[in-house]
Amino acid sequence: MTDATMTITREPMPPGDRRSSRRPGPWHAALWIAPAAAVIVFVFAYALYQLVIQSFKYKSEWTGWDNFRIVVTDPLFRTALKHNMELLLCVPVLIAVALLLAIVLSETIRGHTFFRGVLFFPYILPVTVVGVVLGQLLTLNGPVNTALNGMGLGKFAADWLGDPNIALWTMGGVIVWKEVGFGIVLFLARILSLPNETYEAAALDGAGFWRKHWSITLPQMTGVIAFYAVTEAIVMVSWVFNYVYIMTNGQGGPGDSTVVTELYIYRSAFQNQQIELAAAAAVILFLITLFLVVIFFRLQRKSLLAVVGE
Amino acid sequence: MRKTIKAAALLGVAALTLAACSSGSGGGTTSPSASGGSTAASPMATGPVTLTMHWWGDQEAPGAKKWLDAAITAYQTAHPNITIKETLETTDGLIPNFEAAAAAKTPLDIQYFWGGIYAQQPHWNGNTAAISDFISADELAHYTNAQMEDSYQGKIVSAPWYVNPSFPVLVNKDLLAKNGLTVPMTWTDFLKTCDTLSAKGIPTIAGGVKDGWFGGWLYSLLGAQSLTSQKQVLDAVVGNAKFTDPALGDWWTRLEESQKHKCWNSDINSQELYQAQQLFVDQKAAMTVTAGPDAPNFATKAGGPDKIEVMAMPAWSDGPLAGKIASSSQTLGIPSWSEHKAEAADFIKFLHTPEQLQAWYDMTGSLPADDRFDLTQVTDPIKKSLFAGGSDNVPYMENFIPAQLDSDAVFKNVQLVLKGSETGAAAAADMQAQMERLRTTDRDLVTNFTNWASGQ
């Protein structure tokens, strides 16, 4: 039995004070958090500390900002970062597609479970499977182009992954296809939790499909949309390595057209044996991702405050 | 939140991995001479020893695994206290996995390396011991290409194992004859062949550059033709010449010509190398390029000596290396952290005994990297042609440029030129620019390559 419990037993408080008196002290929370915190410190903080230290060294000697200077002036790193930024353009596409499909699903009565399963399916597939299969489907003489030619749509056939002008966007399309299921599930859950009365009232007032969702659904979904936008932005900045590695055989090609920051880090560390440069690039990527995480928490807090305010 | 956790986990894992590598890569900063461990004088252990070997398997020499298994059994019978365990590596995993093993100091005693820069770089990083510290100079003098590709500051860094004639062009004579053509020996004839066949929708030469590696082959097949020795390439690496100089850069224009004359299969950019070669086997392309050790088997699959001819890339220059098949040897090295260097070296030497050399040829049909192998027994015309090239000591140029230049400039620009997105001149300029960049990002590059060049 803890001291806190004993205090409550010995000296009963007036009803109005009971709640505050039973609140555990700060040490109590710390005790519960301690095991997880210890693991996090051991696994992440120490590694991060070593990473940062390494980024300022070369052959165990302190070299100040040298590694960062080399990395940020490296045209390949800047190209990689630019590609990550370009992939951010997939985020609004993801939001629009996921939102549209979630709304359509919410209004679908027959077979909605089946359709939900179909749309969520790509999200649970391993990236390796997606990369290998789509990599084959999208070759110049592959099934996709063969089908397009067969349907008389040959002008839309392209060297999807072999043309440097479109390879990054093909990659973006694959990422959207795989990631959209997550957005659909999030948005659908939110839509199904919205009160039905508002929609019934709007219907009585003659509101159509678009009007209902534009004026009723969307305003109530800003929190979950913001959450999805930030998490997908993090994906585009620091979670696309698998796609690029699998679909381009680790080359980021053709040319440099699909090189992303994670691939730059991987190649620096494990192909070119330049651990220090990889560390510097990883620190930069970490800071960018941290920035996005901070935005996420701010949005989440704002959203929570709005809910509490209601 | 799940995605946030995933992102955080990725960063954490990346941080942890890099931290582990950084703290464990002391070897990466050790000078080659400080590789330490046992020396040539170290006696063979009498107690139980387990040797771990990582290698590339049958990928370019089918039958190699069967041969190695038999060789291991024979060696273990002769040395009952020694057990040898082998692990196969993929092409993409060969270098990164060795680097990871070096960082973690995973037990490893024998490691497969491609020749030249791929054997040199690990030694420069302090991750391999010089094989000449454990095998005598007299013995190593028999190992094909040891001096040309694997010597550094008076030492041999890795032991040649088998020869990779690099790279033979296979020609389907029947397909050419059906279209009124003969085997093109010069570049002009080759382009004419391309014009004729492309008009009929037939690719003259099949290849795939999606995975990059074929780009390196093309660099050697075309780029070596205007050079006189590997020294010119090493000079360009350290800054004493430029990759835009005519001798070093004109091959890009030849590559551009081949693209304009539609010599290649149209999907070359979306095919991997080995996928694209199937077009040749299926009689849908007149020519292809394949790995030297596998060429005899490959030629048999495609129709045999009556139908298939093996040759060097059609010559576009009158340089001394034009029209010749280069020679490179795949090697076995000993990691600097191995605790059984003497035993590992003894096993490598065992692989060069006359019985093993003969068994290698019998099981793989390819050439062992040892001049004690009796070449007179080879009667097959394809093998004779290949082995003659393989024994000529013609340098394979891809092995003399930094591996990073290979991937960042050669692989990349070959893809762009073959897609028609870039001119040959622009590719040469980019290769020079990438080289200048690498001299900045790799702070030991100039010193290491200068030392290497001084021994050539």
Residue A77 in any domain: the answer is yes
Nearest CA of chain A to the CA of B133: how many Å?
A: 25
Give the CATH number, domain containing residue B91: 3.40.190.10
Residue B189 pLDDT: 98
B148 and B17 fall within a common domain: yes
pLDDT band at A193 (very low <50, low <70, confident <90, very high): very high
Q: What's the number of domains chain A is made of?
A: 1
| Residue ranges with strand state E in B151-306 | 151-152, 155-156, 159-166, 169-172, 205-206, 287-289
Domain encompassing residue B354 = 4-165+329-391
B296 and B185 fall within a common domain: yes
Contacts of residue A12, Cβ cutoff 8 Å, sequence gap at least 6 = none
In tens, the pLDDT along B288-337 reads 999 888 898 889 899 888 899 999 999 999 999 999 999 999 999 999 99
Q: Does B267 touch chain A (CB under 8 A)?
A: yes
Residue B114 pLDDT: 95
Calculate mean pLDDT across residues B111-125.
Answer: 96
Token couple for A198: 């508002």
Backbone angles phi, psi at B400, to 5 degrees: -115, 10
- What is the secondary structure of B180-205 as a DSSP string? T-----BHHHHHHHHHHHHHTT--SE
Q: Does B25 touch chain A (CB under 8 A)?
A: yes
Residue B439 in any domain: the answer is no
In tens, the pLDDT along A131-142 reads 999 999 999 999
Nearest CA of chain A to the CA of B412: how many Å?
A: 4
Q: Does B89 touch chain A (CB under 8 A)?
A: no
Nearest CA of chain B to the CA of A113: how many Å?
A: 23
Last residue of a domain, which of B324, B340, B358?
B324
Residue B398 in any domain: the answer is no
Domain encompassing residue A209 = 68-308
B307 and B351 fall within a common domain: no
Q: How far apart are CA A59 and CA B22, in angstroms?
A: 9
pLDDT band at A21 (very low <50, low <70, confident <90, very high): low
B62 and B81 fall within a common domain: yes
- Pick among A149, A272, A274 to test the B interface (most B CBs inside 10 A): A272
Give the CATH number, domain containing residue A170: 1.10.3720.10
In tens, the pLDDT along B77-88 reads 999 999 999 999
Residue B384 pLDDT: 87
In tens, the pLDDT along B56-103 reads 999 889 999 999 999 999 999 999 999 999 999 998 889 889 989 998
B109 and B201 fall within a common domain: no
Residue B294 pLDDT: 87
C-beta separation of B15 from A51 below 8 A: yes
Which helix (H) or strand (E) is B50 found in, with range? Answer: strand B49-55
Residue B393 pLDDT: 77
Say yes or no to pLDDT of A2 above 50. no
Last residue of a domain, which of B391, B407, B432?
B391
Nearest CA of chain A to the CA of B53: how many Å?
A: 20
Residue A179 in any domain: the answer is yes
C-beta separation of B203 from B276 below 8 A: no
Contacts of residue A261, Cβ cutoff 8 Å, sequence gap at least 6 = A77, A80, A81, A84, A237, A238, A281, A284, A285
Token couple for A171: 């990659």
C-beta separation of B231 from B224 below 8 A: no
Residue B403 in any domain: the answer is no
- In chain B, the residue whose alpha carbon lies closest to the alpha carbon of A182 is B3
C-beta atoms of A54 and B437 within 8 A: no
Nearest CA of chain B to the CA of A205: how many Å?
A: 38
- Please list every residue in chain B whose beta carbon sits closer than 8 Å to the beta carbon of residue A238: 7, 10-11
Nearest-CA neighbor of B336 among B17, B3, B34, B15? B34
The lowest-confidence range among A13-17, A106-110, A261-265, B253-257 is A13-17
pTM score, two decimals? 0.85
**What single letter denotes the amino acid at residue A44?**
F
B94 and B62 fall within a common domain: yes
Q: How far apart are CA A175 and CA A147, in angstroms?
A: 22
Per-residue DSSP letter, B409: I
How many other C-beta atoms are found inside a 10 Å radius of the C-beta of residue B429? 18
- Nearest by CB to residue A249, choosing from B8, B20, B92, is B92
Q: How far apart are CA A258 and CA A173, in angstroms?
A: 13
The lowest-confidence range among A77-86, A186-195, B177-186, B377-386 is B377-386
Residue A81 pLDDT: 96
Residue B34 in any domain: the answer is yes
Residue B447 in any domain: the answer is no
Residue A160 in any domain: the answer is yes
C-beta separation of B97 from B56 below 8 A: no
C-beta separation of A191 from A102 below 8 A: yes
Calculate mean pLDDT across residues A96-111.
Answer: 91
- Please list every residue in chain B whose beta carbon sits closer than 8 Å to the beta carbon of residue A50: 15, 18-19, 22-23
The C-alpha angle B267, B288, B419, rounded to 5 degrees, equals 30
Say yes or no to pLDDT of B42 above 70. no
B308 and B228 fall within a common domain: yes
Residue A13 pLDDT: 52
C-beta atoms of A255 and B412 within 8 A: yes
In tens, the pLDDT along A253-277 reads 999 999 999 999 999 998 888 999 9
Residue A254 in any domain: the answer is yes
C-beta separation of B204 from B198 below 8 A: yes
Alpha-carbon torsion A294, A296, A300, A303, what sign? Answer: positive
Q: Which of residues 128-147 of B touch A (CB under 8 A)?
A: none
B263 and B159 fall within a common domain: no
B74 and B123 fall within a common domain: yes
Q: What's the number of domains chain B is made of?
A: 2
Residue A308 pLDDT: 63
Residue A173 in any domain: the answer is yes
Residue A12 pLDDT: 53
**What single letter denotes the amino acid at residue B4?**
T
- What is the secondary structure of B65-133 as a DSSP string? HHHHHHHHHHHHHH-TTEEEEEEE--TTTHHHHHHHHHHHT---SEEEE-STHHHHHHHHTT-EE-GGG
Nearest CA of chain A to the CA of B423: how many Å?
A: 13
Nearest-CA neighbor of A246 among A145, A178, A148, A165? A178
C-beta separation of A244 from A171 below 8 A: yes
C-beta atoms of A141 and B210 within 8 A: no
C-beta atoms of A159 and B419 within 8 A: yes
- Nearest by CB to residue B95, choosing from A59, A271, A279, is A271
pLDDT band at A22 (very low <50, low <70, confident <90, very high): low
C-beta atoms of B403 and A50 within 8 A: no
C-beta atoms of A60 and B4 within 8 A: no
Residue A22 in any domain: the answer is no
Q: Which of residues 28-57 of B touch A (CB under 8 A)?
A: 28-29
Residue B390 pLDDT: 64
Say yes or no to pLDDT of A125 above 50. yes
Say yes or no to pLDDT of A10 above 70. no
- Please list every residue in chain B whose beta carbon sits closer than 8 Å to the beta carbon of residue A91: none
- Pick among B2, B18, B31, B437 to test the A interface (most A CBs inside 10 A): B18
B296 and B373 fall within a common domain: no
Residue B110 β-bridge partners: B53
pLDDT band at A26 (very low <50, low <70, confident <90, very high): confident
Last residue of a domain, which of B351, B366, B391?
B391
- Please list every residue in chain A whose beta carbon sits closer than 8 Å to the beta carbon of residue B407: 251, 267, 271
C-beta separation of A67 from A295 below 8 A: no
Residue B111 β-bridge partners: B54, B333
B185 and B245 fall within a common domain: yes
C-beta atoms of A47 and B99 within 8 A: no
B335 and B261 fall within a common domain: no
Residue B441 in any domain: the answer is no
Q: How far apart are CA A31 and CA A40, in angstroms?
A: 15
